[in-house]
Amino acid sequence: MTATSIERPFTVVSLLPRLLDTNGDAGNARVFAQRARWSGREARVVDVHTRADLPEHVDAVSIGSGTDAALLPARDALRTVLEDLRVWSNSGVPILAVGTGWELISWGIDLAGGSVIEGLGLVAGHAVPRTKRATDDIIVSSKFGRLIGFENHARDYVGAEASPLGRVLHGTGNADAPASGPQIEGLTMGEVFCTHLHGPVLARNPGLADHLLKAAFRRRGLVYSRGAVAESVDETARTARNQVALRLGQPTE
């Protein structure tokens, strides 16, 4: 790594925040940047609405969730950066996609009326209609720690060939509990992470945020470590997660 690459700001791309921020999930980009700052690095968030907005260097990518009315315009806009997404995913740039943002980078979305929206095909699997909307707190056991968020989706996710993000302890996740096998949530493919968890997920679950930041820093020859401010904020997040766990009859951390 050159001195210039080490010294340049840690750059987080927030893809289509005007279209994909229904649940505040564009805030994940700000979490990436703020935790990088707390670790002692200069950091910035670049909102990308068209390919012309892309910065020269990208260290992490956040894709939020939107309404079904925004599916087609968001999909068409994401297609303009498809090759960039492929390059980023193949080179280990952390990409976090939430809700419909995840569905749009999949094989596609089956709508309740019978029509299909073709996705970008970046990750395996596709979204299919549910008989009843999943709207509840969700708790997931993962190797990044216990993850807690809020799910709000009218579609299941099927056909994923990648590893799940984790096992559902409470809630729905990718689908209702199967007759056999674990009930799972999300998927991971290298450093591409997809989830139904809103919150934003990185603010509520700093262990996941730090995993992604470690990967991003490692690509630049840097070592990530939490700053003192992050430790204090993370304790607040832990308390909030425990409050949800207690309400749902789950063990606390």
Name the H helices within 50-177: 71-79, 82-90, 100-104
pLDDT digits (tens, 9 = 90+) for 56-106: 999 999 999 999 999 999 999 999 999 999 999 999 999 999 999 999 999
- Note the pLDDT of residue 2: 55
pLDDT of residue 181: 85
- Determine, yes or no, domain membership for 252: no
Q: How far apart are CA 32 and CA 48, in angstroms?
A: 16
Residues spanned by the domain of 147 = 3-247
Q: Is 133 annotated as a binding residue?
A: yes
Which residue out of 126, 153, 196, 198 is catalytically annotated? 198
Residue 178, CA atoms < 13 Å, CB-side half-sphere: 14
pTM: 0.96
The pLDDT assigned to 179 comes to 83
Residue 179 CA to residue 128 CA, distance in Å, equals 19
Tell me whether residue 177 is in a domain. Answer: yes
| Structural domains of the chain, count | 1
Low-confidence ranges of the chain (pLDDT < 50): none
Cβ-count burial 138-168 (b if 16+ within 10 Å, e if not): bbbebebbbbbbbbbbbbbbeebebebbbeb
Specify the DSSP class assigned to residue 70: G
**Could you give phi then psi for residue 53, rounded to 5 degrees?**
-80, -10
Examine residue 253 and state whether it is found in any structural domain, yes or no: no
Q: Among 23, 7, 10, 124, which residue's Cα sits nearest to residue 64?
A: 23
Phi, psi of 15 (to 5 degrees): -85, 125
Q: Which amino acid is at 134?
A: A
Look at residue 162 in the predicted model and tell me its pLDDT.
79
Residue 192, judged by CB atoms within 10 A of its CB (0-12, 13-18, 19+), counts as buried
27: domain CATH number is 3.40.50.880
What DSSP line would sit under 159-198, residue for residue? ---SB-SEEEEES-TTSSPPSSS--EE-EEETTEEEE--B
Known catalytic residue at 198: yes
Residue 39: inside a domain, yes or no?
A: yes
pLDDT at 72: 98
Query: Do residues 226 and 39 touch, judged by C-beta distance below 8 A?
Result: yes
